[in-house]
Structure 1
Amino acid sequence: MHIDLSHRTAIVTGSTAGIGLAIARGLAASGARVVVTGRTQPRVDEAIATLTGEVPGARVSGVAGDLGTLKGAQALIDAEPSTDILVNNLGIFEPKAFFDIPDEDWMRFFEVNVLSGIRLARHYATGMAERGWGRIQFLSSESGVQIPTEMVHYGTTKTAQLAVSRGLAETLAGTGVTVNAILPGPTLSEGVGDFFGKIAAEHGKSLAEVERDFISTHRPTSLIQRLATVDEVANLSVYLASEQASATTGAAVRVDGGVVRSVI
């Protein structure tokens, strides 16, 4: 299968590192003009330099801003009024016991993980529908199906993304615009790597040992018995952004290493 996105523009939120950067790299390698986003200009500039260095002929630009706010979302829309592909990857996570999560944390997680994608989809989907083609993705998580007790607020926002994705797909029925949610399992992103690194330092263990302990304790149903790589998640995103994925919409597509024990 040859995926050619040379005539498409893609916006990937939260794409200065981790899964978002891997998705941006995959889309750029497929020919798309890619817009990366991050909270600060130095991080955006670094991501652009990385992508142009890794992907020959990459067409990459960037917008800096906090997309967890209305002001940040509007800044992106002003800079890039139209797109063919929108990947709502921006998200935060934080292990914290349920009884220790204050209202402020609940609101912050909802603003960043849910409202950021809603605001952008509300704007960009209109133009996609008018043109008769578009791809919208929400990076949810297996945690949206199996809520982790160590971070209920995170899991709740990931469930909300599934609802938004399906509802928007039904809203856009027959327009040529597809909307899907991607459900990664535990993935060795920059944020997870940093988190595991702190645990390793505190307990005098290697990163490999911390990963094995995490899988055996918190995700024992994993069929691959390891964390996924960011590129393994990105591969699915690039496919769903392609012409070839035109019949896949309204779906919650798992790339979770088999963590969710379900036949569908």
Structure 2
Amino acid sequence: MISLDLGGKRALVTGATRGLGFAMATRLAQAGALVGVNGRSAQSVTTALRDLRDAVPDGTFVGVVADLASEEGAASAVEQFPDADILINNIGIYHAGEVLDTPASVWADHYDANVLTGVRITRNVLPGMLARRWGRVVFIASDAAVAIPTDMVHYAASKTAILAVARGFAKATAGSGITVNSVIVGPSETDGLKGFVSEVVGTDLPWDQAQAEFMRVHRPLSIIQRLIRPEEVANMVVYLSSELSSATTGGALRVDGGYVDAILP
């Protein structure tokens, strides 16, 4: 029997209060994991916990209020949610900007938020996984990591770095029973992307028409020709968090709707 039962596992999801992180927390709880819900403010975490408990009444959730932009924040997250068996590095930011007009400070902000937050928390969580000889670490990357958009090169560079970081951590845990992978996510129906779609398409069209226009003009390589639903990304994350993925490590797996026009990442 094939089972994605995560009963008895403790899963920490960073940036879990909305969007993809919220969907991942939902799916992990539905699979039986006890889920640590990380956010930067007590208010956002409290709201997310309420909504998650409504979505998964029999799920178990723990709030983890911590800003992973500092070593102290990463250490605090682990103190609040110790002994994580599963770590989902989901925190990320993105802002559009032409490469010649984007200052170095924006590049630095994207690298810190998209790359170093995951590095900090992973370094704090891995010792416990190594001691228990089991663990799952997933970094959330983007199609932009391998299909560089000219209007977000700074963002793309940070997501390319994530692929290297995940591969490096996988090699550092060789033979330990721990797997480390990244997920290349294509254009997804999140609040952040909805705002981006409004910026580039305009606010005059109804949402269904706006996203269709965005995909037609700005993401024409998508094979599914629609935005990806957050739960579709979460499904891959749950698989990579399970026992079924025990021989999958150091990989970059795609949930991109076929957007990346390549056989390999």
Identify the range of structure 1 (118-127 vs 176-185) with the bigger mean alpha-carbon deviation.
118-127
Which blocks of at least 5 consecutive residues in structure 2 are unaligned? none
1:144 paired residue number: 145
Contact preservation (8 Å) 2:68, 2:121: no
Q: Deviations over 1:32-82 (max 9, x none)?
A: 000011121111011111111111221101112322233322221222232
In the alignment, which residue of structure 1 is the partner of 2:253? 253
Kindly indicate whether residue 44 of structure 2 is the aligned counterpart of residue 49 of structure 1.
no
Could you say which residue in structure 2 is the equivalent of 1:33?
34
Residue 63 in structure 1 maps to residue 70 in structure 2: no
For 1:49-198, list aligned pairs within 5 A.
49-197=50-198
CA contact (8 A) 1:13 1:90 kept: yes
Native 8 Å contact 1:69 1:112 kept in 2: no
CA distance in 2, matches of 1:170, 1:133: 15
**What CA deviation, in whole Å up to 9, does each residue of 1:189-248 have, x standing for no partner?**
121123334556x45112222212221222211100011000000000001000111111
Contact 1:196 1:207 in 2 (8 A): no
Output the CA distance in 2 between the equivalents of 1:142 and 1:236.
15
Q: Write the letter of the residue equivalent to 2:106.
A: D
Counterpart code for 2:107? W
Q: Report the RMSD for the aligned CA atoms in angstroms.
A: 1.4
Q: Distance in 2 between matches of 1:203 and 1:179?
A: 40
Letter paired with 1:36: V
Identity level (%): 43
Q: Does residue 239 in structure 1 map to residue 239 in structure 2?
A: yes
AA aligned to 1:95 is: A
Q: Match of 2:152, SS?
A: helix
SS in 1 for 2:139: strand
1:69-103 C-alpha deviation (Å, 9 max, x unpaired):
33322221222232100000000011111122112
CA distance in 2: counterparts of 1:52 and 1:121, whole angstroms:
27
Displacement after TM superposition at 1:23 (Å): 0.3
Tell me, yes or no, if the aligned pair for 1:199 and 1:210 is still in contact at 8 Å.
no
Contact 1:92 1:112 in 2 (8 A): yes
Gaps of 5+ in 1: none
Q: Distance in 2 between matches of 1:46 and 1:3?
A: 28
Q: Which moved more, 1:99-108 or 1:168-177?
A: 99-108
Correspondence for 1:5: 6
Distance 1:240 1:110, change over 3 A: same
Q: Is the 8 A contact 1:6 1:30 kept in 2?
A: yes
Partner of 2:220: 220
Name the CA distance, whole Å, in 2 between partners of 1:194 and 1:72.
28
1:219 partner letter: R
Question: 1:156: Cα distance to partner?
Answer: 0.4
Deviation at 1:134, TM superposition (A): 0.1
Distance 1:6-1:126 versus aligned 2 partners, 3 A rule: same
How far did 1:177 drift?
0.1
> Using a 3 Å threshold, how does the CA distance of structure 1 residues 20 and 203 change in structure 2: closer, same or farther?
closer
TM norm structure 1? 0.96
Q: Number of paired residues?
A: 263
